[in-house]
């Protein structure tokens, strides 16, 4: 890497703490979740955000988009939502000069830099599947024509863990498309006190734009260049393979798991560890990156058996056992 290019990257990376500071003007606490969303953005993936109502999931995503000057769209998923409501549809138009009629593709809300798929588990599988191609291929196909999505592109889907009536749980294949499965916790007592003080008045903090679209793309390119040692890649491979009951040496996994994570989990863990290094202004991965990100990367890629669910065993417990 040339000196001029290295200087540019260091300047852009130095803006990341300021970005977190700007988001912190609006969002009180939830630092772990904010970091994980930014890691997903740097790694070029998408994330699933789960939390009870009132934890500022929507506000968190909207605030991040504002601080990044990214085009933001929110889609409220409902039982009657159709795929065309997401990707767009063709409309009949008339050329005023010639009088000829033609079909024109009217782009849906998926054509944005940050797309918030709110309560994704409230819509039927047909509509959920409409997101699959966009998430994986970064394009939408309609009527045999491909339409490229804007870059950078990030889908953040939210779901409510406590309401099960009238919901359609995401199938395993679609869950695997999400780079990270982020769980929002309740705020601490002091954080909740700060929320009550800061959100019930008339003041609204002004956010400054910290990073441009091109700078985010530069950071995504830099993330893939971050160094990770062969020993750490070997430990990631060993961790992912140990989640599979047929090849695991863990009695805990053999007892409670039906099947484990696939190779995509290892790829995600390497890439997100690199992204976490960049977020912390480092250019090399350390073991702490892997241990921290093992939970949001593996928790939706491990399937527990019926006995485990009856005993209230969670995938986080499985990961904790493996990290020991």
Q: Is 142 helix (H, G, I), strand (E, B) or coil?
A: strand
pLDDT greater at residue 263 or residue 187:
263
pLDDT category, 164, cuts 50, 70, 90? Answer: low
The mean pLDDT of the chain is 85
Cα–Cα distance measured from residue 107 to residue 291, given in angstroms and rounded to the nearest whole number: 41
pLDDT above 90: residue 265: yes
Q: What is the pLDDT of residue 288?
A: 94
Chain mean position to CA 262:
18
pTM above 0.85, yes or no: yes
pLDDT category, 292, cuts 50, 70, 90? Answer: very high
pLDDT in tens, 22-78: 888 777 777 888 899 999 999 998 999 888 777 778 888 888 888 887 888 999 988
Burial class (CB in 10 A: 0-12, 13-18, 19+), 180: buried
Given the structure tokens 């971050």, which residue do they identify?
A: 226
Q: What is the pLDDT of residue 239?
A: 94
pLDDT in tens, 234-245: 999 999 999 999
242 half-sphere exposure, CB direction, 13 A CA radius: 18
pLDDT above 90: residue 233: yes
pLDDT greater at residue 257 or residue 95:
257
Residues 6+ apart with CB under 8 A from 174: 128, 129, 131, 132
pLDDT above 70: residue 2: no
H helix intervals, the chain: 3-13, 16-26, 31-43, 57-67, 84-87, 125-137, 172-175, 189-198, 213-225, 230-241, 251-256, 263-279, 287-298, 306-310, 315-323
Q: What is the pLDDT of residue 238?
A: 93
pLDDT in tens, 299-321: 999 988 898 888 888 889 999 99
Q: What is the pLDDT of residue 320?
A: 92
Question: 18-199+211-225: CATH homologous superfamily?
Answer: P-loop containing nucleotide triphosphate hydrolases (3.40.50.300)
Cα–Cα distance measured from residue 305 to residue 259, given in angstroms and rounded to the nearest whole number: 9
Q: Same CATH topology for 18-199+211-225 and 227-323?
A: no
Distances (CA, A) of 117 to 35, 130, 158: 19, 12, 6
Query: Measuring CA to CA, which residue among 182, 138, 133, 172 is closest to residue 262?
Result: 172
Domain ranges of the chain: 18-199+211-225, 227-323
74-96: average pLDDT:
85
Share of the chain above pLDDT 70, in %: 97
Given the structure tokens 């003007």, which residue do they identify?
A: 25
pLDDT above 80: residue 94: no
Judge contact between 179 and 47, C-beta under 8 A: yes
Share of the chain above pLDDT 90, in %: 25
Q: What is the pLDDT of residue 277?
A: 94
Q: Read out DSSP for 22-90? A: HHHHHS-S-HHHHHHHHHHHHHT--EEEE--TTS-HHHHHHHHHHHTT--EEEEE--TT--THHHHEEE
Burial class (CB in 10 A: 0-12, 13-18, 19+), 110: buried
pLDDT category, 165, cuts 50, 70, 90? Answer: low
268 half-sphere exposure, CB direction, 13 A CA radius: 28
Rg (CA), the chain: 21
Question: 227-323: CATH homologous superfamily?
Answer: Magnesium chelatase subunit I, C-Terminal domain (1.10.8.80)
pLDDT above 70: residue 3: no
Query: Measuring CA to CA, which residue among 44, 28, 38 is closest to residue 68?
Result: 38
Strand partners, 254: none
Cα–Cα distance measured from residue 261 to residue 302, given in angstroms and rounded to the nearest whole number: 6
Q: Is the dihedral of CA 39, 113, 46, 44 positive or negative?
A: negative
Judge contact between 318 and 257, C-beta under 8 A: yes
Least confident span in 1-5, 143-147, 228-232, 260-264 = 1-5
């Amino acid at each position: 890497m040339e000196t001029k290019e290295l200087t540019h990257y260091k300047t852009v990376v130095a803006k990341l703490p300021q970005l977190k500071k700007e988001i912190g003007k609006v969002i009180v606490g939830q630092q772990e979740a904010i970091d994980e969303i930014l890691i997903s953005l740097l790694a070029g993936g998408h994330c699933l955000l789960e939390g009870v109502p009132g934890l500022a999931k929507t506000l968190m995503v909207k605030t991040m988009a504002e601080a990044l000057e990214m085009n933001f769209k929110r889609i409220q998923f409902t039982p009657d939502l159709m795929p065309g409501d997401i990707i767009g549809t063709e409309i009949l138009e008339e050329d005023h000069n010639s009088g000829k009629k033609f079909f024109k593709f009217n782009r849906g809300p998926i054509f944005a830099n940050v797309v918030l798929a709110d309560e994704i588990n409230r819509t039927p599988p047909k509509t959920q599947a409409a997101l699959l191609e966009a998430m994986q291929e970064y394009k939408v196909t309609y009527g045999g024509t491909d339409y490229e999505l804007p870059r950078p592109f990030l889908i953040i889907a939210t779901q409510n863990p406590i309401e099960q009536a009238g919901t359609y749980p995401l199938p395993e294949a679609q869950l695997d498309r999400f780079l990270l499965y982020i769980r929002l916790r309740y705020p601490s007592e002091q954080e909740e006190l700060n929320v009550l003080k800061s959100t019930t008045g008339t003041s609204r903090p002004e956010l400054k734009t910290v990073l441009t679209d091109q700078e985010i793309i530069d950071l995504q390119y830099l993330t893939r260049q971050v160094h990770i040692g062969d020993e750490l890649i070997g430990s990631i491979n060993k961790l992912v393979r140990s989640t599979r009951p047929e090849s695991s040496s863990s009695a805990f996994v053999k007892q409670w798991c039906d099947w484990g994570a696939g190779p995509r989990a290892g790829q995600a863990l390497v890439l997100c560890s690199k992204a976490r290094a960049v977020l912390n202004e480092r250019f090399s991965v350390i073991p702490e990156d892997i241990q921290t990100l093992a939970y949001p990367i593996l928790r939706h890629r491990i399937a527990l058996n019926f006995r485990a669910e009856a005993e209230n065993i969670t995938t986080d417990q499985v990961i904790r056992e493996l990290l020991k």
